[in-house]
A = this chain, B = another copy of it.
Amino acid sequence: MISIDPTDKSPIFEQICKSVCRDIAAGVLRENDRLPSARELAKLLQLNPNTVAKAYSILERDGIIYSMQGKGCFVARHEGKAYEKLTENFRSAVREALDAGASADELIEIIREMSRDN
């Protein structure tokens, strides 16, 4: 389920975080579901185990998953945290654009354009 685009400029650990959050937000992963172990996932995605471990530790820090020594990592009670993390980049981009002097209406117009194209 979790997938990576190696050509993507964003750090791989971040892509993993996003991917997990996406699955949670979409309901593919539910509360207390077990995530693949760091080693498993690293092997599957051809990554350095450290990279996966880093992603998991961030997700744990953000309260999106919890780990149990020797058992693995599991999806936490979410309360919208996963969704929030997903739109985190979007929020900061909005803040940046507003700071740069764009108006809310201009941004909304851009979104309308872009969703129309799809």
A interface residues (Cβ-Cβ under 8 A, vs B): 6-7, 11, 18, 22, 25-26, 61, 66, 68-69, 86-87, 89-98, 100-104, 106-108, 110-112, 114-115, 118
A88–B18 CA distance with the chains assembled, in angstroms: 21
Bound Cα distance from A103 to B90, whole angstroms: 12
Taking a contact as CB atoms under 8 Å apart, the answer to whether B95 and A114 are in contact is: yes
A66 to B, closest residue via Cβ? B7
- Of the listed residues A92, A104, A106, A118, the one surrounded by the most CB atoms of chain B closer than 10 A to its CB is A104
A114's contact among B11, B94, B100, B103, by CB below 8 Å, is which? Answer: B94
Q: Which of B18, B102, B114 contacts A86 (CB 8 A)?
A: B102
